Every structure is written in structure tokens, then in C-alpha cells.
Structure 1
Amino acid sequence: MATSSKVTSPMAAAALLLASLSGVNAFWRMDCHSPLGLARIDPLVDYGKIAAHSHIIFGGDNFSPTAGYDDLIASESTSCRAKEDKSAYWTPSLHFQHSDGTFEVVGNQGGMLAYYFLRDGGTGQQIKAFPAGFQMIAGDTNKRNFTGPVPDPPESDWTADELTQASLAEKALGFNCLNYASGKTEPSLFRHFLPDKSFLDANCADGIRLELSFPACWNEAAGVAPKGSKSHVAYPNLVQDGVCPEGFSTRLPGLFYETIWRTQDFVGKDGQFVLSNGDPTGYGYHGDFIAGWDVPTLQKAVDTCTNLDGTLESCPVFTLQTQPEMAAVKLSMPADLKNENCAGPESTLPGNVPIQSGPQPATDNHGGVAAPTYAPSSYAAPSKPVVPTVSPKKPVYSKPSYPGSFSIQDIQNAGVASTSRIATSEASSTSAAVYVAVTPAPSAPAETDGGSIIGTTTYTSDGAVWEVAIKEIDITVTAEPTGAARRRRHLAQHRHIGDSHGL
């Protein structure tokens, strides 16, 4: 498993290492740099009506309360980077309730990323492009509890209860505490609830990243858009990877949303964070998707854009826009919503949505009133929602894979014995798998893996400046029955060291 002497550049070494790891598949990140708008529009749940709560919306400019595939395909432009992607992506917005009872939207950092993962669960199954008319919903707006153990146990220890679709859907939500200066990053889908304000103030200096994984298994017989847009799809048994359940045999791209909110702007201010659907726990986070792709174009991208770096530049199928071009694309606001101020400050959440902390399910609130009359809402120091405590200081790395990363489990799958480990300072206290991040990491992170850097290079992608450091590290390989042997291995780490734009 030694690195070939023909590999002469750090980037080539990184690509070779990633390509050698079973379980790490191609993906790309669809950068939707600026939202179309913030509005109570949701054509999947409240078709033709004013939606119950506000959403932050990205994608094709023909999005509307009645938008469907044909409308989106006919969009003149999109707020996402690839001109070919006229899809619609939307999630609830995040708001802050001040101590005087008023609400204002939390600032969004850099739009959203929609990851397209090309994972087949090791089956060799073809991944099929989203068909014309395809739509789906992930998450449950009324959910206010979590039924599984906290934190997630290693996937190899998941019980039958934890492998149900209901449990997998609970694990498909993530709330990633961002603190780049700390030298530590949390795995995606590590925490399944929204931390309270005191935790965010103390630990998340760079905000909170809300994450959502969509089902990637489709029952073609159920159609592309059944009522409710959930019954036709299912999660593979590892949420983002693994095997599809019986009856859902068609493999789709694994869609994954990331949206960053600037909770750090409210440090020292009295109040609470709450999603626009009245959820202060995060358990009711959800998202919607309507495909707006020309199907042959998307299928060509799925079949041919199989690089492991996740950049759109690696895929010649796409015609890429600049950030100013994306930012110029805005929603045509329906007449009955033009006077609604979803951003605030206002005395209620948009649509007069009540705050419901659970743990019982929230009640539906589909008033659908136009230009609502805001009634002052009483404010009291919020009672803490029923959420567990998971410290970011000692994260438990229990996922075998997450966006843009690979794990020791991937190396094990490539033929290294199960006793092998890449040691880090955080790993000594846990028996769970340890991750080597290649997604954005803080500037000058602490060198904790014991390796020595043998080469570096930098490159720019999607406006971000990255450094690739190639390290040589020791790993132990157990060869039965002769025992263990030490080997040297080249390891690639991608570090986010800055931005080429003013985000």
C-alpha cells in the first residue's frame, strides 16, 4: 500500500490515496452562493397557497407557490453555480427572538452547498439521475424529539431499531458548531439538535452549520412526486451510504444540504434561536427539493464527473457562473407576499407561527394568511428544550464517512486490518473510528497526527483558498499469523486557509 514513486505532486498523491480507499466515492458540491429570497413559499407542502413558515430559497428563478419541473426547467437563470442546474432547494430560515419578544432572521453566510454524492454502498449499482418531475422532502417539521442514543454509536453497533427508516431520518440532521481557530472540526451529522444560545455563544465562534441528508433510494413504481413527497424514497442503511431497503432498488445521487448561519452576531444578547417553523430544538429541521435538471445532462455528469475533489471545475459538463452572476438572481415575489417582512425585526415569526418546544409533536400551523397582522408575542426566558449535551471539545467520531472526508474505516475496507489506527490527540480516549478531515479546517491547525509534512501546495476552489499538505505517517498493519508491522503512508490533508472573496 506504499505510495508509488511515480507520484510527484501533493495533489497527485492526494488523488491516489483517495482513489485507493474503498467506500470513498465521487461527489461534487453545488455552490448556491446567494439565496433567491426569504419567503413563505413551499410548493410541495402548501401548493398554490402562502406557506406556513418562511424559507431560505435557492435555485431556478421560476420558483413560485405553484412551481414544478416544467417551470424550473424554463427558468432563465439560477442562483446556483452551474447554469444547467435549475433545481429548487429550500429549508426553514433561522431566527433570533430578543428579550423584548421581537424576531429577526439570523444572517446567512455564503448561501448554501448542495452536495451530490455518487455512492453505491459497495454494490456496483448504477446511480440514476433524478428523473423529470422528481421531488422529495427530508425531515419532519413537527418533530420535537430524538429517540436514539446520544451520541450515535459506531454504525457497526446500530441495533435493528436504529436501522429503521424513522431512526435513519433522525440521524440525517446535523448541527455543526463552527470554531475555526480552535483547531478542531466536528464531523457532519454529529449532533442532531440545535444547541442552546449559551452553548453557541461559548463554543461556536464562527456560527452553526445546519446539515440535511436526503434519501438516496427510490421506488420507481411509486412515481416521481407522490402526495407528501416522502413515500417514494428511503435512506440507505448508513444514512448517506450503505444498502437500499427492499422495494427501493433505484439508486439516486445522495443529496446533502449545508447552510451556515451567523449565530455569532448575537453573542451577549438575551434571547433564543428558533427555526421559522417555531422549533427551538432543531429536531424539526427539514428541507425540500424539486429537480430542475435536463435529465441526460445530469446523467452524463453522474457517469463521467467522478473526481474525488468535489469541485465543479473538475466536471466539464457544467457551465459555471461567477458569484456576482449568482447574486443577481432574485425571486419574483408573489403579490400577496410583497408586504411581508420575513427578515424582521417583527413581533412574531413570519406567519405568526407559535414556538413549540415539545417533546410532543408540534401542531400544524397552516394559516396561509396574506400580509399578516403582527400581534405582539409575550416573552419569557425560554425553558430549555429537551436536548442532550454533546461537547465539541471531545467529539466522538462515529461516522464512517462524511462530506469531503475519509476515515480509518475506509482504509480498513481497502485491506488494512481492523486493529490499524491513525492516532490523533482526540483519539486516545475513544475506541470509535478516527477521522482525517479534508473539508474546511482552521488556519494553522494543531499538528496532532504525529506525521511530518513532506510537501504542500495551494489551490483556489469556489472562492476559497486551500492548502494541501502531504504527510508521511506510521500505521500498524496486522498480518495473521505473523503479527504487526510498521509501514509508512502518505496522507493528504486539505486545509481551508482563506477566501478569495469578501464573505
Structure 2
Amino acid sequence: MFVNKSSLLLLSLGSLTGLSDAFWRMSCSIIQTGRIDPIVSPGEVASHVHKISGASNIGPNSTYESLQSSSCTSCEINKDLSAYWTPLLYYEHANGSFEEVPNGGMAVYYLGRGDNKTNIQPFPPGFRMLSGDAAARSFNDTPVSSVEGAEPYGNRVSFNCLTDSPNPQSPQMNMTDCDNGLRAQIQFQSCWDGVNKYLPDNSHVAYMSIIDNGACPPGYPVQLMHLFYEVLYSVSDIALDGGKFVFAQGDPTGYGFHGDFLNGWDVDTLQAGIDQCAIANEAGVVHECPVFAGIDDQNFSTDCPARLPEIDEPVHGVIDKLPGCITVTPGPEDATLADFVCPASAPEPTLLDVDSDSGQVIGSTVNGWTYMGCANEPTGVRALGDATYTSNNMTNEACQSFCAGKGSPMAGTEYATQCYCGSALASGSSLNQTCSNMLCSGSEMEYCGGPDRLSVYQKA
């Protein structure tokens, strides 16, 4: 199994300071990375890259109903099949290339806040919203509502540079020399009109007067749980060379940081969580809320690892340009539609027809090897017990080539990095198991088994 530094940092994300009301904090790993946004760009390739957490079958056409068929979630509460996403952060090197900044996921806070918090309602099926403005390149000082003392929109976004000494939070990405990571934070709207589950201009929801607390404006009678995301980027892992950090929508300022939420909660579970823990759970620990204690999966990152991307284009590592027709715009003027949208003559990447929860088709043959299915590791022996090797650049093709060189007709990949060879499965191992579908360490376009599960191939 491979674990990057950002995955470990995720476990030590900071919490809200001065928190005196009730909440629960849920950790999430990444389920998919790519130009996917079923809220803004349903059924299409989105303008820029997001890192998505949550329901395993998230895709361009996702709805509440489709999320309910997910086999798992990359968040720790397994009755929450919602999807949560934010833009990917890159570093633009001096030579013009872009390098992905490591990130292992996010922390999602559900807070019982607001002047009407004793009447909080659950998100209804079909509810979705986004917070922030991807085009923003300067601070928006417009008040969020007409309520007296309302905060400016610009305060919904904040950054915290984590070092050994505390640093003040900022609404812009102005401090990036952060030994312990750069934490991006976004507050969501908590006031709903009670009618529309989504409107393209996002006017079905509104912010509380001080964004993370306070009063709802007129016309928004329904109080919702207050959502807050923390996303930690391992900026110290990047070798700086005079370039700059930039979000996937071409934003080097941070003012355009944004987040999306597509509700997938089991309604009864969320209602029970609100009833029992939205007011009383002051510690914020998921398993201390009785509703969640039995459905809190501490192994969420391995039980529901990242899925294959649904857009056929490079987004990881070092790439020549930002995915999409993105122009890096430093502001202070907002980015324009032309800075995001490709001309009609530009080729579109392929929108792959990937079934995220089932992976490859049993019986399919590629390069002379047939996929046989997923096999379990039996107790005390290996399912394929001949030659083996491990690599951080593992692919199924590399494993098959290795096994062919060893004279073995069967090859199996496991835990993203491991390859095993043999002539037959050992006693106690059988095919047609459920694989966790871990992405190969050497390819973002294929699966290499999972924990104690082998993706098995046989020479045709």
C-alpha cells in the first residue's frame, strides 16, 4: 500500500478555534480527480480539475439517486453517500510546467449553528450547492445579506499557513512557505428557501449574517447544518524555483477557492444525527455521536480507495499545462468566461464510460492477457505463490510482463504496488471476490487489486 505525506497530514488537520457549539468532524480521502462537476457541468467535461471525496460512483451525471447505488464512500460515515469537491492546487514552475500539489483529502465539519439552530432541518434528497466564486481574484467586500452586521462575502474563504509558530488566517493565498502544510478553508450557506433544491445562480441558499453563525436573511426560513471544509495541501513537498502556486481554474490569489456539495445522505441517519448531535456533541468526534458510532469506518481510505478518472487526460504529477483551456489570471479583476472556456475548434478530451464500482469486465482480453476477476488471499499462503515484486510504478502490464518472463501463466496485482505470479490459485482462494479497486501506483487509468485482493490475469 502507498501512503503519501498529505494523507498523513490529513489526520492532523486543525479544528475550528473557539468552538463552543455542537458539531461532528468527518475525515475523507480522495475518491476521484478530474474535470468532473455534476452540479455546474452535468453530463459534460468541466472547465477545471477537482479533487472529489465521498461516494464511489461520483461522475459527470451524478444525482442523489445514483449516489445511493455507490458501493462505498471515501468518508468515514458510511451512511453518507454525498460528494464533496474543491479545485486541485498546482505549482506553476518557472519553465511553465505545472506540478500537482499533494493532498490526501479533506475534513468536513457539520456544525449546529445559527440563531435558529434548534430547528435545523436535514438536506433533502436532490439538494446541492456550491460556495465561493471560481472567477474571484480580489476580496469581495459586499455584505452577504441585509441583516445588520453582516460579514462580507470574501470571508467565506480563508487560508492558514501551518508552521511551528501560529500564523493569522487570511482570505488570500499570500503565505505558502508552510512546513506543515497550507490549509484552505471554505464556509457554506446554511439558509435555504425551503422550495428549490438547486438553482444555477445558487440563490436557493444564503449565508448566515456572520457566515458561520448568525441570522438568516428574509426569504430563507429553513436553517440547515452549517458545512465547513478544510483541505490541506503539502506545499513543502514542492521544489520551488521562482514559480507560483495556482488553483486549477487559473487562480494564483486564492480568492477563487470554492467548494461543492451534492447531498447523498441517508435521510433518517442525517435526521437522527441532527436530533442527537447537532446540539449536544461538543467534542466533534464522530464515534461519540451515538447515531454514527456503528457506521464510523476508520479504514475509509483503504476500504474505499480512489477510483479511475472519467476524463481521459493527464492531471497528476508534472504536466505541460493546466487541464482545459485555462488562463492564469492574477487579478485584481475577476477572470472572464473566456479564461475558462475552450473555443469550439479545441479538441475535447474523451469522457470515458467507466463503471467506477465494478472496474474491468471479466473475460476481457488486453495484450494477450484475460482478466479473470478478483481473488482473495487465503490464510497462511499466497494466492499466487511463485515470483513476486513490488514497485511504486506498478501497472498490470508491467506485472504481466514480469510473470511472463518467469514462465508463469497467471499474474495478479494487489495493494496498488504488488505483483504476484503463479500457475494456479492456491487452495482457499477463489475468483469473483469484491476488489477494493485501488489505482495502480504507476497508472491513474487502471486498478491494481486492493487490500488482500488480487486483480488476476491469465495468459490467453
Q: What TM-score bracket applies, with the shorter chain setting the length? A: 0.5 to 0.7
Rounded Cα–Cα distance in structure 2 between residues aligned with 1:264 and 1:124: 40
Q: Matches of residues 228-247 of structure 1 in structure 2 within 5 Å?
A: 228=201, 230-247=202-219
| 8 Å contact from structure 2 (residues 154, 171) kept in 1 | yes
Structure 2 counterpart of 1:57: 52
1:299 equivalent in alignment to 2:271: yes
Counterparts in 2 of 1:326 and 1:69: CA distance versus 1, 3 Å: farther
RMSD between aligned residues: 2.4
Structure 1 counterpart of 2:435: none
Kindly state the Cα deviation for residue 287 of structure 1 after the two structures are TM-superposed.
Answer: 0.8
Partner SS for 2:109: strand
Which of the residues 138, 151, 160 maps onto 1:145? 138
The residue type paired with residue 276 of structure 2 is T
The residue type paired with residue 318 of structure 2 is P
1:192 equivalent in alignment to 2:165: no
Which of the residues 8, 23, 26 maps onto 1:30? 26
Partner SS for 2:309: coil
Structure 2 counterpart of 1:104: 99
Q: Matches of residues 46-85 of structure 1 in structure 2 within 5 Å?
A: 46-85=41-80
Kindly state the Cα deviation for residue 163 of structure 1 after the two structures are TM-superposed.
Answer: 5.1
Kindly state the Cα deviation for residue 225 of structure 1 after the two structures are TM-superposed.
Answer: 1.5
| 8 Å contact from structure 1 (residues 138, 169) kept in 2 | no
Alignment size in residue pairs: 324
1:176 equivalent in alignment to 2:160: yes
Partner SS for 1:71: helix
1:371 equivalent in alignment to 2:349: yes
Kindly state the Cα deviation for residue 328 of structure 1 after the two structures are TM-superposed.
Answer: 3.7
| 8 Å contact from structure 1 (residues 61, 77) kept in 2 | yes
Structure 2 counterpart of 1:346: 319
Q: Matches of residues 472-483 of structure 1 in structure 2 within 5 Å?
A: none
Which of the residues 281, 289, 292 maps onto 2:261? 289
Q: Matches of residues 206-355 of structure 1 in structure 2 within 5 Å?
A: 206-221=180-195, 223-228=196-201, 230-266=202-238, 268-305=240-277, 306-318=280-292, 319-323=295-299, 325-326=301-302, 328-334=304-310, 337-338=311-312, 340-355=313-328
| 8 Å contact from structure 1 (residues 162, 168) kept in 2 | no
Kindly state the Cα deviation for residue 145 of structure 1 after the two structures are TM-superposed.
Answer: 1.2
Rounded Cα–Cα distance in structure 2 between residues aligned with 1:227 and 1:148: 23
Q: Structure 1: 5+ residue runs without aligned partners?
A: 1-20, 150-154, 373-503
| 8 Å contact from structure 1 (residues 57, 89) kept in 2 | yes
Rounded Cα–Cα distance in structure 1 between residues aligned with 2:172 and 2:301: 35
Partner SS for 1:171: helix
Structure 2 counterpart of 1:497: none
Counterparts in 2 of 1:263 and 1:42: CA distance versus 1, 3 Å: same
Q: Structure 2: 5+ residue runs without aligned partners?
A: 1-17, 351-460
Rounded Cα–Cα distance in structure 1 between residues aligned with 2:303 and 2:234: 19
| 8 Å contact from structure 2 (residues 112, 226) kept in 1 | yes
Structure 2 counterpart of 1:377: none
Rounded Cα–Cα distance in structure 2 between residues aligned with 1:160 and 1:242: 12
Kindly state the Cα deviation for residue 361 of structure 1 after the two structures are TM-superposed.
Answer: 1.4
Counterparts in 2 of 1:263 and 1:298: CA distance versus 1, 3 Å: same
Rounded Cα–Cα distance in structure 2 between residues aligned with 1:267 and 1:251: 45
The residue type paired with residue 250 of structure 1 is V
Kindly state the Cα deviation for residue 227 of structure 1 after the two structures are TM-superposed.
Answer: 2.4
| 8 Å contact from structure 1 (residues 35, 327) kept in 2 | no
Counterparts in 2 of 1:369 and 1:344: CA distance versus 1, 3 Å: farther
The residue type paired with residue 276 of structure 1 is A
Partner SS for 2:154: helix
User: Structure 1, residues 17-55: CA drift from partner, whole Å, max 9, x if none?
Assistant: xxxx9x8310000110x2012100001111111010000
Rounded Cα–Cα distance in structure 1 between residues aligned with 2:137 and 2:232: 22
Rounded Cα–Cα distance in structure 2 between residues aligned with 1:254 and 1:124: 10
The residue type paired with residue 89 of structure 2 is L
| 8 Å contact from structure 1 (residues 61, 78) kept in 2 | yes
Rounded Cα–Cα distance in structure 2 between residues aligned with 1:282 and 1:114: 19
Counterparts in 2 of 1:103 and 1:162: CA distance versus 1, 3 Å: farther
Partner SS for 2:110: strand
The residue type paired with residue 110 of structure 2 is Y
Rounded Cα–Cα distance in structure 2 between residues aligned with 1:200 and 1:193: 11
Counterparts in 2 of 1:60 and 1:369: CA distance versus 1, 3 Å: farther
* Aligned-pair identity (%): 38
Rounded Cα–Cα distance in structure 2 between residues aligned with 1:246 and 1:323: 43
Rounded Cα–Cα distance in structure 1 between residues aligned with 2:325 and 2:316: 13
| 8 Å contact from structure 2 (residues 54, 82) kept in 1 | yes
| 8 Å contact from structure 1 (residues 218, 233) kept in 2 | yes
The residue type paired with residue 142 of structure 1 is A
Partner SS for 1:91: strand
With a CA cutoff of 8 Å and minimum separation of 6, indicate the structure with the bigger relative contact order: 1
Rounded Cα–Cα distance in structure 2 between residues aligned with 1:260 and 1:238: 24
Counterparts in 2 of 1:220 and 1:93: CA distance versus 1, 3 Å: same
The residue type paired with residue 249 of structure 1 is P
Counterparts in 2 of 1:27 and 1:363: CA distance versus 1, 3 Å: same
Partner SS for 2:291: coil
TM-score (norm 2): 0.66
Kindly state the Cα deviation for residue 268 of structure 1 after the two structures are TM-superposed.
Answer: 4.2
| 8 Å contact from structure 1 (residues 78, 326) kept in 2 | no
The residue type paired with residue 114 of structure 1 is V
Kindly state the Cα deviation for residue 348 of structure 1 after the two structures are TM-superposed.
Answer: 0.6
Which of the residues 128, 133, 141 maps onto 2:121? 128
Rounded Cα–Cα distance in structure 1 between residues aligned with 2:231 and 2:248: 15
Rounded Cα–Cα distance in structure 2 between residues aligned with 1:313 and 1:243: 30
Kindly state the Cα deviation for residue 144 of structure 1 after the two structures are TM-superposed.
Answer: 1.2
The residue type paired with residue 98 of structure 1 is H
Rounded Cα–Cα distance in structure 1 between residues aligned with 2:67 and 2:160: 31
Rounded Cα–Cα distance in structure 1 between residues aligned with 2:59 and 2:46: 11
Counterparts in 2 of 1:69 and 1:168: CA distance versus 1, 3 Å: farther
The residue type paired with residue 219 of structure 2 is G
The residue type paired with residue 20 of structure 2 is V
